[in-house]
Amino acid sequence: MSTSARGSHTPSVTMRDVAEVAGVSVATVSHVVNDKPGARIGEDARRRVQEAVASLGYRPNALAKTLSQGTSRFIGLVADQIATTPFAGQIIHGAQDEAWKHGYVLLVANTDGNDEAEAEAIAMMLEHQVHGVLYSTWYHREVVVPEALHATDTVLVGCFAAEGGLPAVVPDEEQGGRTATEELLAAGHRRIAFINTTTPSPAQTGRLAGYRSALEGAGVEFDDALVFPASPEQGGGYATTPRIVASGATAVFCHNDRVAMGLYDGLREQGLRIPEDVAVIGFDNQDVIAAHLRPPLSTVALPHYELGAAGVRILLGIDADTGSEPRLIVCPPILRQSV
């Protein structure tokens, strides 16, 4: 009984076919297939329809349904970089799961930061009658929202608009910085260095603010000499090591996991052990790095999955949009063995 011709070439069975086999009208088929609450359908007719559906292998055409209902089940996700970072995958994943949960489907487009590709992507989404779009960036920053997006509901994920006006959801950098520092404090450290990025960004200011606030909360005086600017790379962490060691810090909060990776190398060269001689905590939770360093790195996670999920919740009106301020998503600590 195997009709093994490839599906797209097989004429598909329609509601009309089901109606004929079941001996009812298409309206009736529609009602039972969609289990419409208002509709009273006789037990008998209902059963015949169900049998016909099963025997014919009927599958509703979602596109036709959308057309006649005037309301689509698509959510668009336009991302500047699906590729370059492991993170973007998590955003997609979170958005997809949440969309799915509510009967929506994700349409994804990558723009590579190219304006033309972006315009095309948005046009394509609008032509597909998306319910709305998630505009996402892979690192937390300010963006200028493309004009075309004003033609549909849009929420910003991992970024925020200069002019405001659009709902946005971003990681809570300050809370993250505070959490990281508090972990160090809780382990008994008082002289805590902070290797901060030299790149101006919400991460730069937010994490620093969190660091200061945690210190203050613990009654430890902030010492400007303990914050070290460095490029947010392995090399930055490595290069900063001598000064860290000279500072007498017993613990260091690194702007991100790559910096921590460099610090590991530097510390090891000095014969210093982690965490016995100096404790270190990172930020980002870049899995491949953090989990595989020796010892495994304690860090604070960027909540990419949650960002994607929260984005669709706001888009669908499930979560209230937070007005002109972006909604902040907490960055949870991931404790391993470096503190």
**What, of DNA, its own copies, none, does residue 313 touch, CB below 5 to 8 Å by kind?**
none
Q: Using CB under 8 A, which of 110, 136, 175, 181 touches its own copies? A: 110
Give the long-range contacts of residues 81-84, CB within 8 A, separation 24 or more.
Answer: 81/110, 81/112, 81/113, 81/137, 81/138, 82/108, 82/110, 83/110, 83/112, 84/138
Quote the DSSP letter at residue 301: B
Sign of the torsion angle spanned by Cα atoms 84, 89, 95, 99: positive
Question: Do the bridges between strand 279-281 and strand 105-110 make them parallel or antiparallel, or are there none, so unpaired?
Answer: unpaired
| Residue from 59, 61, 10, 33 nearest 24 by CA | 33
Q: Using CB under 8 A, which of 14, 50, 66, 201 touches its own copies? A: 66
Query: Under DSSP, is residue 174 helix (H, G, I), strand (E, B) or coil?
Result: helix
Q: How many CB atoms lie within 10 A of CB 59?
A: 11
Site for its own copies contains 62 (CB under 8 A): yes
Site for its own copies contains 152 (CB under 8 A): yes
Site for its own copies contains 270 (CB under 8 A): no
Site for its own copies contains 318 (CB under 8 A): no
Instruction: State how far the Cα of 244 lies from the Cα of 69, in Å rounded to an integer.
Output: 64
User: 160 pairs with which residues across the strands?
Assistant: 142
Q: Using CB under 8 A, which of 27, 54, 151, 186 touches its own copies? A: 151
**What, of DNA, its own copies, none, does residue 294 touch, CB below 5 to 8 Å by kind?**
its own copies
Rg for the chain, CA atoms, rounded: 27
**What, of DNA, its own copies, none, does residue 186 touch, CB below 5 to 8 Å by kind?**
none
Specify the residue, 214 or 310, whose C-beta has the smaller distance to its own copies: 310
Q: How far is the CB of 118 from DNA (least distance, A)?
A: 22
Q: How many CB atoms lie within 10 A of CB 106?
A: 20
Specify the residue, 81 or 213, whose C-beta has the smaller distance to its own copies: 81
Site for its own copies contains 274 (CB under 8 A): no
Site for its own copies contains 292 (CB under 8 A): yes
Q: How far is the CB of 51 from its own copies (least distance, A)?
A: 19
**What, of DNA, its own copies, none, does residue 109 touch, CB below 5 to 8 Å by kind?**
its own copies
**13 is written with which tokens?**
């069975």
**What, of DNA, its own copies, none, does residue 292 touch, CB below 5 to 8 Å by kind?**
its own copies
Query: Under DSSP, is residue 195 helix (H, G, I), strand (E, B) or coil?
Result: strand
Residues that bind DNA (CB under 7 A): 11-12, 14-16, 23-28, 30-31, 33-34, 36, 39-42, 44-46, 59-61, 64-65, 67-70
Specify the residue, 59 or 268, whose C-beta has the smaller distance to DNA: 59
Q: Which of residues 114-133 bind its own copies (CB under 8 A)?
A: 120, 123-124, 126-132
| Residue from 323, 300, 319, 85 nearest 174 by CA | 300
Q: How many CB atoms lie within 10 A of CB 101?
A: 13
**What, of its own copies, DNA, none, does residue 36 touch, CB below 5 to 8 Å by kind?**
DNA
**97 is written with which tokens?**
């799961």
Quote the DSSP letter at residue 284: B
Which residues sit at the interface with its own copies, rule CB under 8 A? 4, 6-8, 10, 57, 59-64, 66-67, 72, 82-83, 85-86, 88-90, 92-93, 96-97, 100, 105-110, 120, 123-124, 126-132, 150-153, 233-234, 238, 258, 261-262, 265, 268, 286, 288-289, 292-294, 305
